[in-house]
Structures are given as structure tokens and as C-alpha cells.
Amino acid sequence: MAKHIFVTGGVVSSLGKGLTSASIGMLLERRGLTVRMQKFDPYINVDPGTMSPYQHGEVYVLDDGAETDLDLGHYERFTNAPLNRDCNYTTGKIYQSIITKERNGVYRGKTVQVIPHVTDEIKSCIRKLVTPGVDVVITEIGGTVGDIEAMPFFESIRQFALEVGKQNCLFIHLTLVPYLKAAGELKTKPTQHSVQELRKIGIQPDVVICRTERHIPDEDCDKIAQMCSIERKAVIEEKDRDHSIYEVPLSLHGNKLDEIVVEKLHLSNARTPVLDDWKEMLGRIIKPAHEVQIAFVGKYVKHRDAYKSVYEALDHAGIAHNCKVRLTRIEAENVEKDGAAALMGGVDGLLVPGGFDKRGTNGKIEAIRYARENNLPFFGICLGLQCATIEYARNVLGLTGANSTEFDKHTPHPVVALLDEQKKITQVGGTMRLGAYDCKLLPDSRAAAAYKSELISERHRHRYEVNNDYREQLQNAGLVFSGTSPDGSLVEVIELPNHPWFVGVQCHPEFKSKPIAPHPLFRDFIGAALKLRQSRKDDRRPVIVG
Ligand code: GLN
């Protein structure tokens, strides 16, 4: 029988429940257990796909095309648990299913209510992850205890524990223990109140994990244990890490979290955890031998979470080369104002990530021109590939006004355009080209060299495509279409053979990079940047570190 761990949060939002849940999953997997991960988000959007990155941060895409919360990115980077659309439910998605059933007469004349219909629906979503061979399902509840919109989820997990037996469930509550400078003390009261809030709705946490800037003295942990009716050893400190989020599982392991989970859930098949490769990987993060400076030209560069997986994948590539990857984050619009040379002087590479809408696209195109003309390694992702195609059409082919029809409906040269099947679509949510698609690569390309394979599969999230009407012209001018859909009809990868490393991809490779398995394209991009950096060092030319 599968065991269940429910991770809830209190005191403040953005505590890192996703990272903590992922770390628990990782530790249990490394004890030989089979884990599944799931997140409930209490907001009403059916998925985060329609939300602005400012609102929600990155939209994380799964193989099956589900557009999900970015915490699922942590789950995939930390664990091997397979994820699909059953691993992320919002209130909107739950209600959408209930309302469809109601319209189809499934409820047979009953009044449809939060209890039992919504709670039953939520519980059935938890059960979907229990398949043969699964030892532990970890379910994270988004939001903070006490939020009105999260209530049905809390009520559902309370009921669920009664139904499957309390001995099969573990409630882990994550809180904040703030340091008050004026008092010179850490404060446990918010944690006490937050646990009271949980108990009011019938949930007694088994474990409390306390996020803190400073080490929590024993007497404060004793107080939390006593006031919250929790065993002392189940009050676990999670102190801010100095170097990397990848330290979190080791720090929780050091504080015996996995030992307590195994004991409380009677996971008798758990073995001692194998963590050597993870420790080795962390060693490289903490003491890198080299460093590179990458210009990152995007539209949401001030928002920490908007390009989460891209930032992580760059760090992973750094791990592969024992190299610290530093970023010069540049607002694309500033390139339009100040010019690429002024903002990108001295960098070792350029990355242009995915994006939507016109704002800043000319800045991205200008940055790409600078990289192409100055032999600066370039990696374009999704919109990055589209901008590189536009740049080549404008500046090499001389097609004045070349553009994507996303940015200029009346462009004389629509080198990037909508597929016919996308033209008919009017609904916004979930209608892009989403999820995993195969791609075949040219044998002697940089892409094939990176992947060491000529057939790959990557995740997508876009509507527009390189326009096949311009393929021949672009190709004759030197742009290589090194990856296409298996039938050849869609451009998937572009590159320039006479450049140190210039690759654009229509997919989002960042979603498949892990710290212990860096993505091959990110790895080779950073490899090329490092090569440039080292050749410059030999030239004794100054390098500007921003
Ligand atoms: N806006 C472009 C499209 O829809 C690129 C999307 C992206 O970068 N994810 O095709």
C-alpha cells in the first residue's frame, strides 16, 4: 500500500515548499523507494498557461503537454518521478471537471457542493498517482494555511488521511522562524499560530520544518515542539543555504528528516541513502575552477522566476565544466536604446530565451546580430530561434522588414508565421503546440554532436514556426536547418557552421536539464563560451564582469 506525505505551508508564501517537497522526494528515492510527486494550486485559472510571467513566473511544460507550476520543475530536477497532467491540479481544473460532469447529468439530480463533491474530486486526483509499485506519493498544497481558496484542499487531505488510515499519511508543515533584529531573537510565535490554524481545521502536523536565516537554538525548537504537540525530533531546521538550492536535500538529511519520515511512515523497505554523486556535484558548485559571463537578453529579466528552468539549466551546464556561470541580465528594450556593444562588451556568450509579444524583439534581434558578427557563442530558445531567423533574413539576406507575423501582421517577409492549423484557433488556454515532439538532426551538425544522437525528443510551447516559403533562401544564404520534425515539415533547430557556436532551437531544452545530468545543448553552449573566455585570457584582453 502506498504511503502519503502532504506538504503544507504557513506564515508567509514563497517559503520554498516546492524545493522542500522535491528534496523529500529525492531523499526517499535515494533510499530506494519509488516516489510520485503532485501539486495542488488553489487559484482558479485552469492552469498557469494563461498567466503572465510577472504573476506566476515560468510555466513549466511536461512531456504530455501539460502547462504546470514551476515547482514541478524542481520535482523533475531533484527526482526521477515521472510527471504528467495528473501531477498538477488547480481549483479551476477541479471545477472544470465537476461542471462538465454536472452538465452531463453524472450527479443524478443532486445539489453539487464543496463537500462532498469538490473534496471527492480532489481525493480522486490524489488516488490517480497511486499505481502498482509506488511507495510514497508526495502532495504539496500551494498557498498558505488559512487562505480561503485553499480550504477545500486542506479539508480533502484531512478526509483522505481518515480514509486510508492515519498510519499511512504524514503531514509536514513548512513555516518561517523570522529573526527580529531589534529584539536580537528568532521568533517562534508565527509558527505556533500557523500550526494552530492547521489544527483548527482538523490537521495535526507530524513534522514541522522551519525556514530560517539563522540556526534555531535548542530551546526554541523545544518550545515549538511543546506548543505544537510535535515530537521534538520532528521539529526540523531548514536554514538558508549559502551556495545553491541543491544543498537543501543534504541539509535536511543532516537534520534527519528522511530518517523521521521513514520511521513515522514505517517504510520498512527503505535503505540508507546513496548521496555520493549529489555531494560531488555540489562540490563543483561550491568550488568552481572557471567562470564565464553570459548576456541574457529577455523581457522579464528582473523577475527571479520568469526564466527559472533556463537559469537552472545554465547552472547545470556550469557544473559540467566546473565553471561558475554569471549572468548579465539585459532588458531587451535597453538593447534598442543603448546598442548591443555597450551592454554586451566583454561577455562570453549570448542567450535569448523564449517569449511572447512584440516588446523588446528588436533588441533581441540586435543582440543576436552582435553575437553573429562578433563570433560570440549564441543559444536561442524558441523565440530566440525565431529572432535569429528574422535577424538572418534582415541582415544577411537583405529582406527589409522581415518579421514574425506575431509582431507585424503585415510584414512584407513573414519569415516566421502561424501554421494553418493554428490560424483557426480562437481559444487561448492549452492550444499552443505543447509537449514532447521528436526531431531529427543532421548528422554533422553541432546539435547532433551535442546530443550524440540524430533523433531526439524535446518539449515545446509555441504557436509560430519558421515559414517554409523562406527556407530555401535562408539556406542558400548559409543558415543551416540542422533539425526538423521527422517528416521534415517543421524547422526545429538552426545553426551557423562558420561560427564558433550559434544554435537556435524551437523547443525548450531547459525543461529536461538536471544538476546531475546537464542538458547537452546548454553544456556545449557554456563549453564554447568557456573556450572564448580562455582564448581571451591568453590574449590578455580585459574581461568585463557585470
Ligand atoms: N511567441 C512565440 C510563439 O508562440 C515563441 C514562444 C516561446 O518562446 N515559447 O511561437
What's the grid cell of residue 340?
548591443
The rounded Å distance from CA 507 to ligand 1 centre is 9
Which residues does 255 contact at the CB level (< 8 Å), separation at least 6? 236, 237, 238
Spatial distance between the Cα atoms of 422 and 443, rounded to a whole number of angstroms: 31
Take atom 7 of ligand 1 and give the residue whose Cα is closest: 354
CA of 525 to the centre of ligand 1 (A): 21
Shortest-distance atom of ligand 1 to CA 464: 10
Residue 508 annotated among the catalytic residues of the structure? yes
**Which stretches of 79-208 are DSSP H helices?**
91-103, 119-127, 151-164, 189-200
Q: At what angle are helices 218-228 and 189-200 packed, to 10 degrees? A: 20
Nearest-CA residue for atom 3 of ligand 1 = 462
Distance CA 448, CA 520 (A): 10
- Can you tell me the distance from the alpha carbon of 196 to that of 187, in angstroms, rounded to the nearest whole number? 16
Query: Can you say how many angstroms the Cα of residue 354 is from the centroid of all Cα atoms in its chain?
Result: 13
- Ligand 1, atom 8, residue with closest C-alpha: 354
Looking at residue 546, its pLDDT comes to 40
pLDDT of residue 319: 96
> Mean pLDDT in each 10-residue stretch from start to end of the chain (546 residues)?
96 91 98 98 94 89 97 98 98 97 95 96 98 97 94 97 96 96 92 96 96 95 95 95 93 97 96 96 94 95 91 97 96 96 95 95 97 97 98 97 96 93 85 95 97 97 96 97 96 97 98 97 98 81 48
Atom of ligand 1 nearest to the CA of 382: 8
Q: What is the DSSP string of 245-274?
A: GGGHHHHHHHTTHHHHHHHHTT-TT-----
298 C-beta closer than 6 A to ligand 1: no
Distance 538 CA to ligand 1 centre (A): 39
**CA of residue 33 to ligand 1 center, whole Å:** 38
Global pTM? Answer: 0.95
- What pLDDT score was predicted for residue 539? 57
Question: DSSP label at 52?
Answer: -
d(CA 460, CA 383): 11
Q: In Å, how far from its chain's centre is CA 507?
A: 15
Closest ligand 1 atom number to CA of residue 381: 8
Residue 192 phi, psi dihedral angles, 5° rounding: -60, -45
Instruction: Judge contact between 417 and 464, C-beta under 8 A.
Output: yes
Question: In sequence order, what are the beta bridge partners of 292?
Answer: 325
Q: What is the Cα–Cα distance from 404 to 132, expressed in whole angstroms? A: 48
ω before 48 within 30° of 0 (cis)? Answer: no
How is residue 92 written as a grid cell?
479551476
- 321: annotated active-site residue: no
Q: How far is the CA of 463 from the centre of ligand 1 (A)?
A: 6
DSSP-assigned beta bridge partners for residue 505: 381, 493
Span from the CA of 364 to the centroid of ligand 1 (angstroms): 14
Please indicate whether residue 193 is annotated as part of the active site. no
Residues contacting residue 1 through CB under 8 Å, at least 6 positions apart:
164, 168
383 lines ligand 1 (CB under 6 A): yes
In angstroms, rounded to a whole number, what is the distance separating the alpha carbons of residues 519 and 310?
A: 11
Is the CB of 355 inside a 6 Å radius of any atom of ligand 1?
Answer: yes
Q: Which of 250, 230, 171, 128 is nearest to 7 (CA)?
A: 171
Cα-Cα-Cα-Cα dihedral sign, residues 95, 100, 103, 108: negative
Catalytic residue among 382, 387, 439, 507: 382
Catalytic position from the list 323, 413, 510, 519: 510
Instruction: Tell me what pLDDT residue 545 has.
Output: 46
- Is there a contact between 379 and 350 (Cβ–Cβ < 8 Å)? yes
In single-letter form, the type of residue at position 43 comes to: Y
Q: Provide the pLDDT for residue 544.
A: 52
